[in-house]
Amino acid sequence: MHINEIIRKRRATPPKFMTKENIEKKVIEQMLENANWAPNHKKTEPWRFQVFTGDAKEKLADDIYCLLDEKIKKGTAIHPQKAADLRENIKRVPVVIVISMQRDEAKRLPEWEEIAAVSIAVQNMWLTATEMGLGAFWASPQFLPLLNEVLNIHHGQMAMGFFYVGKTAMDYPSPGRGPVDSKVEWK
Ligand X SMILES: Cc1cc2nc3c(=O)[nH]c(=O)nc-3n(C[C@H](O)[C@H](O)[C@H](O)COP(=O)(O)O)c2cc1C
Cβ closest to ligand X, residue 22 vs residue 111: 111
Nearer Cβ to ligand X (95/136): 136
CB of 160 to ligand X, least distance (A): 7
What part of residues 113-132 is at the interface with ligand X (CB under 6 A)?
Answer: none
Contact set for ligand X, span 129-168 (CB under 6 A): 138-140, 161
Number of residues that bind ligand X (CB under 6 A): 8
Per CB under 6 A, 76 contacts ligand X: no
C-alpha 76/C-alpha 146 separation (Å) is 10
Nearer to ligand X, 175 or 178 (CB): 175
Closest approach, Cβ 12 to ligand X, in A, equals: 4
CB of 13 to ligand X, least distance (A): 7
Between helices 25-35 and 111-131, what is the axis angle to 10°?
140
Taking CA atoms, 72 is separated from 84, 137, 147, 149, in Å, by 12, 26, 13, 17
Residue (of 136, 149, 155, 127) closest to 23 by Cα position: 136
CA-to-CA dists, residue 148 to 107, 114, 158, angstroms: 21, 18, 8
3-32 binders of ligand X (CB under 6 A): 11-12
Pick 8 or 42: Cβ nearer ligand X: 8
Helix/strand/coil for 72 = helix
C-alpha–C-alpha distance, residues 145 and 61, integer Å: 16
Distance CA 167, CA 22 (A): 8
The residue sitting closest to ligand X, measured at its beta carbon, is 12
Near ligand X by CB under 6 A: residue from 175, 180, 182, 187: 175
Task: Classify residue 172 by its DSSP letter.
Answer: P
CB of 126 to ligand X, least distance (A): 8
Contacts with ligand X by CB under 6 A lie at 11-12, 138-140, 161, 174-175
